Structure 1
Amino acid sequence: MRAWKLLLLGTAAVLLGACASTDEQDDTGLPSGSRTETAFYEAAQKQLRSSQWDLAIKNLRALEDNFPFGTYAEQAQLELIYAYYRNYENDAAITAADRFIRLHPQHRNVDYAFYMKGLASFTEGTGLFERFLPTDLTKRDPGSARESFAHFSQLLSRYPESPYANDAQQRMVHLRNLLARYEIHVANYYFKRGAYVASANRGRFVVENFQQTPSVPDALAVMIQAYHLLEMPELEQNTKRVLLENYPNHPAIENGDFNYAYYEGTAGRSWLHRATLGLFKKAEPTGFDSREQYNAAYRDRDAPMPPR
């Protein structure tokens, strides 16, 4: 009987040990006996290369937790920012970047943390589907675009010679265009609600604050239309002269003059109107939107791996 008891106890111990070992391995993918700093780091590198972001995050966090002052600790913190970003965890990426900047303000690669803060804010609010399906980013809440612009601006002011400065500057131009176009969308919305003073103010805001953006022609058109509806002929004529002299090919200009019926005419250009061969004739006008004519192409690119 004693032999059977010993056999059962031994079997139970083996099974419990196997379960514990399996549980430990499932967390990071490493056997419990080989959890050295180098093993964590090499496993994370392999997982980053194979886009296994969840496992890479676990190993990078485990490395930092177990070896906070080790050889790879600072590099792991940088790569954790990147892994969070690639895993669509933008808030976590920004938090990790802020932490790195706070802990290592003089680090030779701290500019990468500033850059990734801007990049994570740049894509904040865009999930997996939004990144691959066509969406109009100019209609999103501009808060994240403003934050991203501020982060990139901070990078350029602190580290103008950074290898990420050129890319940050291009993204800032794109963000500025997005912010200007958002104002035009709001102006068109106010037109639909009959708030012509608000429309005129939005157009003027673009002209005054977003010079050199592709939205300026539409901003001038918004102002002309609004001043016309508000019966303010002097402001209307002055703004019309600016549009005609600087953007004579704007779609709202016909035969050398501004076409006040253009705004209402955009109602028939909706996809629903075209798809139903005009069945739905009461579509609201889309408003002033000459992006196809004035917008320059922008090509986004993936975030670079952190430097070593």
Structure 2
Amino acid sequence: MTTAPPPSPPPPNPLSFPPATFQKLAPKIFLERHLQSTPATRPSGRNPDTFRTPSLHTNSLSHAHGSAVVRTGDTAVVCGVRGEVLSLAAGTGGRIVVLRTGEDGRGKNGEGEGDEVRERGLVVTNLEMGTGCSRDYHPGPPTDFAQAVTARLHRLLLSNKLISSQSLRILDPNTEEVKAYWVLYIDAVVISLDGNVLDAAWASILAALRSTRLPQAYWDQDTEVVVCYPEVSRYKSLDVKGLAFTASFAVIDLGAGKGGKVILSDPDEFEEGVCGERVMVCALEGEKVGWIEKGGGVGQVAEVVECVHRATERFKIWEQLFAEVLGSSG
């Protein structure tokens, strides 16, 4: 009786990597394979036109005149607004006097508008990358990235003219002459970063401004100082005019016959590192556009139009969230 030979061993498996390793070795191909699937799906599981769900909390900082925390996915930013007095009178040194509870006086807002916010530097914006927000950022001086985002945020704030200069004036109640101003120091700190920090930081700034309440103040002609009332009940809300929200996009070119260009809404950190073309749209009320930025790649009108359409839809989501948290009046 003959014995059958032992079965031959199975052929070795072809070389393969887990998805996480493949993502690190060939990030662009990894993203392209996901977008070429049916239906197109990003590595995060979102569709190309899907934004991350935002969340908003206000008045989280007890020592700020206004504050907000915004989270979109794993990107989170906390913003605080602090008001300080800038005196225009010579020799005062910008002194502030806080009345004792029970003392009285008169305060009155001036009339008329001007571009005082820009001319007098009444808004100071700063963005800081918090320690541990991402593996790529460490303690030290501000990075070029943080300074670039700070400049974009400041430009957006001034170009949209959201802050009324009238609400920042401190007047002499007798002559209605402007004697001092409130200067707003806006500090945003990124506590967690997973891409698209601009949209989250901008929303946190806008929410913090809309929650800001400044002490009632007036110019005392006898002592030549700015007088502020200590009672919280006398605090006045900052006059923020309208709403404006940014929507950022990353564009990747899959090539002819493979899907062409694909626009990714609200890109995460991985997608930002792969895609070289960026678009940012600042949407205003009434489906208007206040600002468009385009960088990298060869832009096409159809791409920008699609980004504008998505930005107006994103505006509605932010508008509803602000109404729920801050109230329809802001």
Normalising by structure 1, what TM-score? 0.27
Bigger radius of gyration among the two: 1
The structure whose residues are more often strand, as a share, is: 2
Normalising by structure 2, what TM-score? 0.26
The structure whose residues are more often helix, as a share, is: 1
